[in-house]
Amino acid sequence: PDDETLPAVPGRASLASEAVEWRHRTIGGRIIDVEITSHPFQFESHDAMLVVALDITERKRVIRALADSEERFRSLVQNACDMITVIRADTTVIYQSPSCEVILGYDAAGLVGRMLSEIVHAEDSDRLLAFLALATTKPSTATTFEARLRHFDDTWRTFEIVGSDHTADPAVGGFVLNTRDISERKVLEQQLRDQAFQDALTGLANRARFMDRLEHALERSVRGPDSVAVLFIDLDNFKSVNDTHGHAAGDNVLIQVGQRVQNCLRTGDTVARLGGDEFAVLIEDIATSEVAERLASRVVDEISKAFVLSDGSEVTIGASVGVSFINEQDATRDLVQDADVAMYIAKTRGKSRYEIYNADMHTAMAQKLELVADLQHALEKPELFLEYQPTFRLSTGELTGVEALVRWQHPKRGRVMPAAFIARAEESGLILALGRWVLSMACRQARQWQMRYGDDFGSMSVNISVRQLQQPTFVEEVADILRETGVDPSRIVLEITESVMMQEVDSTIPVLDSLKRLGVRLAIDDFGTGYSSLSYLARYPFDILKIDKSFIDGIDEPGNQVELIRAIIEIAKVLGLEVVAEGIEREAQAMQLRDLTCDIAQGFLFSQPVSPAAIAEMLDRLRENLAA
């Protein structure tokens, strides 16, 4: 017994029944609260006392807790940031802390007696009721929920409410709600969420949001009769914008692309940037695939129009679009993947176009991917080889040189022509290694023929991909190969396809100038297939112009084609360019070109691309003829 009230007990023993509390240590060492009451009575004419000790530990605990909670309660109420409201089960406010005036604009006293549900947003009142139901079943635990409350100025504020049931607690007698304004936090959270679902550059949806929308659209399409379509958009030649005009210009183009795509769509459709130069469109509630097709065609048209950069210059790119389309019968397909496959097919069929997905495409696609892997091996093993197609001077018939053309002896497919793999090599970047191999191989061969045949062997032409030109180390690489092989640089002609490079005048010209300083000559290949205007030609340091086969094809038939070729040849002559006609197959074409004063001829009429041994044979014969 360590309670100071203990000594009082015996002293008061003679008094009438009275309760005394004391603390008592039990035999087990536990301290309990005891209430002792003494009851005097007469026993066999003696004063006697009945002492009853009652364990009141639990009761004392409750009372102490109540005192504590009152204190806590007071301190909570005085916290100005939060608002304490005590309500009854029917939401009648029985206490309201003064902070209410700052937080909600109401006079605290005025709120007491009203129903809290009056100022709770209709959509959130269920939450309040759910809280009341839950809190009653678990009295001592706090529950958190969010609800909008109407401010005195009639605006809605969002609150986080921590509530618990204290109805059994005499000091409280209701449900205590600790209410905190989180409107600002909500705004911030929304911003963060937006950011997480938004492409920062274009402001469009990002991949995450796109996939989310798609999922919902597919769920709806299972229920309804309408269909969902996905357009997968990949820009053509976008890399060249970045490389030649800088990343800021590239970003600018991406933003404009986003706007143009958006302008093609209806309001409910979703445009997303999936990353890099890939965009996707989700079209919902369409009755037929033609709607999606029309949109795809519009997108292709819009993107093919020139983009104006901030410095006023223009760039032209394109878009390859794949379309996949779903209806309720096959809602489990991966629409994005299918659209992606269709997009790839659009690329391989010439870019700046759209294709609708069909199941056969998957097989074609798998074969393409396999091709790239195989090509990688081909570069390591001796599967690649060169053929050489000779060129001849039209006026004299003399051999002027050869063009190196790569071929691939595929272990399973046999001979594969460049049309089947150059584009894939360019996309995958393998073209860099491949191009280097071709150039060094061709230079070595040229050096050998130069030694053996002297001037009888003319020039060696090598095709260069634009991707190679864009490599900062390209000029150095060419210089290295020229040095290593010991070939006379003036014998080497680098052929560059007209199409892409013409748009990138400013960045391409310095590279071409550097190449010329190495002593090599430059040819513009496939002239007439690109976007170039003849006036551009004057700005480039080309030596040779190769007219594309497509112009030559109809030259022996009546029509305007002849006049066009005549004009090209005349301008080329003014600019001091040597003119080569590609793809001559008929004698009539050769005659016509001779009349038009075209210098050089290349085509099956004269020779197919052949092995180095066959070229050597030609040169040998030439020498014998001259000797005879």
CB-count burial class (<10 Å; 0-12, 13-18, 19+) for 499: middle
The binder of 604, among ligand C2E, Mg ion, none, by C-beta within 5 to 8 A per type, is: ligand C2E
End-to-end CA distance of the chain: 140
Cβ 549 to ligand C2E shortest distance, Å: 6
Q: Please, which residue, 124 or 556, has the CB nearer to ligand C2E?
A: 556
- Side-chain-side CA neighbours of 462 within 13 Å: the count stands at 28
Interactions with Mg ion, residue window 454-473 (CB under 5 A) = 463
Q: Which two tokens stand for residue 5?
A: 């009230």
Cβ 604 to ligand C2E shortest distance, Å: 3
In the set 495, 498, 556, 578, which binds Mg ion (CB under 5 A)?
Answer: 495
In the set 12, 188, 604, 621, which binds ligand C2E (CB under 6 A)?
Answer: 604
Edge-to-edge order in the sheet of strand 174-181 = 93-96, 82-87, 174-181, 156-166, 143-150
Contact string 523-542 vs Mg ion (x = CB under 5 A) = --xx----------------
Query: Residue 621: in which H helix or E strand, if any?
Result: helix 612-627
Q: Please, which residue, 176 or 464, has the CB nearer to Mg ion?
A: 464
Interactions with ligand C2E, residue window 52-71 (CB under 6 A) = none
Beta-carbon contacts of 310 under 8 Å, excluding residues fewer than 6 positions away, are: 248, 249, 252
Cβ 404 to ligand C2E shortest distance, Å: 6
Closest CA to 108 of 116, 156, 90: 116
- Give the range of 314-322, 392-400, 411-419, 617-625 binding ligand C2E by CB under 6 A: 411-419
Q: Which two tokens stand for residue 574?
A: 């003014």
* DSSP codes joined into one string, 129-184: HHHHHHHHHSTTS-EEEEEEEE-TTS-EEEEEEEEEEETT-TTT-EEEEEEEE-HH
Calculate the alpha carbon distances from 443 to 317, 389, 457 in Å: 34, 15, 13
Secondary structure letter of residue 102 according to DSSP = H
Q: Which 3 state secondary structure label does DSSP give 312?
A: coil
Q: Distance between CA atoms of 336 and 453, rounded to whole angstroms?
A: 58
- Give the range of 20-28, 153-161, 266-274, 596-604 binding ligand C2E by CB under 6 A: 596-604
Instruction: Return phi, psi of residue 429, to 5°.
Output: 85, -5
Pairing of the two strands 270-275 and 174-181: unpaired
Interactions with ligand C2E, residue window 431-470 (CB under 6 A) = 435, 438, 463, 465
Cβ 453 to Mg ion shortest distance, Å: 22
Maximum pairwise Cα distance, the chain:
168
Cβ atoms 234, 319 nearer than 8 A: yes
- Give the range of 189-197, 203-211, 289-297, 415-423 binding ligand C2E by CB under 6 A: 415-423
Q: Please, which residue, 100 or 568, has the CB nearer to ligand C2E?
A: 568
Contact string 483-522 vs ligand C2E (x = CB under 6 A) = ------------x-x-------------------------
In the set 406, 494, 522, 555, which binds ligand C2E (CB under 6 A)?
Answer: 406
Q: Distance between CA atoms of 199 and 222, rounded to whole angstroms?
A: 29
Cβ 300 to ligand C2E shortest distance, Å: 24
Q: Distance between CA atoms of 176 and 88, rounded to whole angstroms?
A: 9
Q: Please, which residue, 504 or 525, has the CB nearer to Mg ion?
A: 525
CA angle 510, 515, 520 (to 5 degrees): 150
Q: Which two tokens stand for residue 207?
A: 């991949």
Q: Which residue has the tokens 């309660």?
A: 73
In the set 526, 556, 578, 599, which binds ligand C2E (CB under 6 A)?
Answer: 526
The binder of 459, among ligand C2E, Mg ion, none, by C-beta within 5 to 8 A per type, is: none
Is 498 a residue that touches Mg ion (CB under 5 A)?
A: no
In the set 214, 254, 303, 405, which binds ligand C2E (CB under 6 A)?
Answer: 405
Cβ 528 to ligand C2E shortest distance, Å: 11
Cβ 555 to ligand C2E shortest distance, Å: 13
The binder of 422, among ligand C2E, Mg ion, none, by C-beta within 5 to 8 A per type, is: ligand C2E
Cβ 550 to Mg ion shortest distance, Å: 10
Cβ atoms 451, 617 nearer than 8 A: no
- Give the range of 68-76, 339-347, 360-368, 602-610 binding ligand C2E by CB under 6 A: 602-610
Is 389 a residue that touches ligand C2E (CB under 6 A)?
A: yes
Cβ 420 to ligand C2E shortest distance, Å: 9
Cβ 529 to ligand C2E shortest distance, Å: 9
Task: Give the footprint of ligand C2E on this chain (CB under 6 A).
Answer: 389, 405-406, 417-419, 422, 435, 438, 463, 465, 495, 497, 525-526, 582-585, 602-604, 609
Task: Give the footprint of Mg ion on this chain (CB under 5 A).
Answer: 463, 495, 525-526, 582
